[in-house]
Amino acid sequence: MEGDSESYRQVNLANWNSRVPHHEIGYGLDAYRVDPDHLSNVIRFDLPRLGEVKGLDAVHLQCHIGTDTLSLHRLGARMTGLDFSAPALEVARRLASDCGADIDYVESELYGAIDALGEDRFDVVFTGVGALCWLPDIRRWAAIVSGLLRPGGRLFIREGHPMLWTLGDPRPDGEVVVEFPYFETAGGVEFVIAQSYVEHEGELTSPRSIEFNHGIGEILTALAEAGMRVTSFEEHRSVPWNPFGDGGRMVVLDEWELGDRPERLAASYTLQAVRTWPAAGRPARLAHGRQRGTRHGQHRGRRRRRGHEPTRQAQRARRQDVRRARRRRGAAANRTRAAGGRPQR
C-alpha cells in the first residue's frame, strides 16, 4: 500500500516514539553502565573498517537511544547525536549521563540537520543500520551528509541492503520472495507491524510506518552528485536482527543470515565516502538538500555565499580573457612559423 508522503514524518515519529519504552528495556543498556569499555555489536562488527576516530568531531544521524553514539564516544570521538524523537533522546541523554559521557544530543529530523548543527562542521558522519529506509529522498540525504562534513571528512554507514528491504514476510515453505520495491518510489510503502524488532510484551501503540527503499545505484549516484567520492563498499550476508524468521540462523555478534544458502542474499553493506569539494565550492546541483537545481538554472533560490559562484559579468570577462589569450598565441605561432621555427606552448 502506498504511503502518504505528506504525513510520513508524523506517522513515523509516532511509530518510533512508541518503540522507545521497549527499546530502553530490550537494548541491554545496563551493559554500558556496568562495563566502561562495552561497545554495541553494530560498532564491534565494523571495527576493522572504521579506522581511527580518536579526537575527531563526529555526528551520528538518526541516533535513536544512542548506543552506537556512546560506543563511538568510547573509541575517542567527540560525539553529537541527532534524532527526531524526543523520548529517544531522553533515554540517550540519561544513558550518556549514567556513563559519564559528554555527548551533545540534538532533536531534529534528518533533513533539518544542517540548520540544527551547522555546515562544514564534522570529520565523520556516521549512520547505523535501519536509517535510510525512513527517508523519502536519497539525494537530499546525500546533500545533507556532504554539507555537514568538512572538506576531506568521511561518511561511514552500515545499512540494510535494498534487496533485504524488498523481501516479503518469512514463509512457511522457506522461500525468499521479492515483494516490495527495490527503487525509490514516491509515497513509500505503508506497513502495520504490531511489535518492534526487539522482544517485548504487548503491542506498539502506533504500529503504522511509512518506509522507502533506495537502490544501490541511487545511493552511489546521490553521493557522487553531492561531491562525495566512495572509497569503500562491502556487502555482507548478515544483519543485526532476524528478518528471516525460522529460515534464519545466528552467526557472530548477534548477526543473522539466511540459514539455507546465505550466499544468495546481500543482507547489509558498509559504505565509506569522502567529501571531495572544498569549502569554497559547493556542488552546483545541490545545496544542503533544500532544493535541486533544474534545467536552465531554474530554482536558484539557495543562498549564495560570496565567492562560491561567479557572477555573469565575471564569467563573461573570463571568456573574453580566454579568447584574447588564444588570439595572442595564434599570432605568436604564425610569427614563429614564418621564421622557420616551432611554436611554443
Q: Is residue 78 assigned to a domain?
A: yes
- 79 and 32 in a single domain? The answer is yes
**Local structure of 342: helix, strand or coil:** coil
pLDDT value at position 301?
Answer: 30
pLDDT of residue 283: 61
Instruction: Decide if 237 contacts 266 (C-beta within 8 A).
Output: yes
Check residue 319 and give its pLDDT.
53
CATH number of the domain at 199, please: 3.40.50.150
Return the sign of the alpha-carbon dihedral for residues 168, 191, 254, 156: positive
Count the domains in the chain. Answer: 2
Closest by Cα among 93, 65, 96, 58 to 79: 58
- Domain region containing 329: 310-345
User: Are 49 and 192 in a shared domain?
Assistant: yes
pTM of the predicted protein model = 0.81
Handedness of CA 75, 79, 82, 86 (dihedral sign): positive
Which pLDDT score is estimated for 174? 85
Let me know if residue 45 belongs to a domain.
Answer: yes
Residue with cell 565567492: 307
For residues 175 and 136, membership in a common domain is answered with yes
Question: Considering just the CA atoms, what is the radius of gyration of the chain in Å?
Answer: 25
Please report, in angstroms and rounded to a whole number, the separation of the first and last CA atoms in the chain. 65
Query: What is the structure's pLDDT at 298?
Result: 31
Block mean pLDDT (10 aa), the chain, length 345 = 66 97 97 98 97 98 98 98 98 98 98 97 97 98 98 98 96 92 96 94 96 98 98 98 95 96 97 86 52 32 33 49 51 43 34
304 located within any domain: no
Is 303 inside any structural domain? Answer: no
266 and 315 co-located in one domain:
no
**Whether residue 321 sits in one domain with residue 194:** no
Q: Are residues 80 and 187 in the same domain?
A: yes
Assess if residue 207 is contained within a domain.
Answer: yes
Are 333 and 287 in the same domain? no
> Is 52 contained in some domain?
yes
The residues that bridge with 158 in the sheet, in sequence order, are: 270
Mark whether 293 and 317 lie in a shared domain: no
**Same domain for 275 and 314?**
no
Instruction: Note whether 316 and 261 are same-domain residues.
Output: no
Q: Are residues 236 and 314 in the same domain?
A: no
In a domain, 302, yes or no: no
315 within domain boundaries: yes
What kind and span of H or E run contains 165? helix 162-165
Residues 80 and 169 reside in one and the same domain: yes
The distance of Cα 201 from the centroid of its chain, to the nearest Å, equals 32
**What is the C-alpha to C-alpha distance for residues 181 and 299, in angstroms, rounded to an integer?**
30
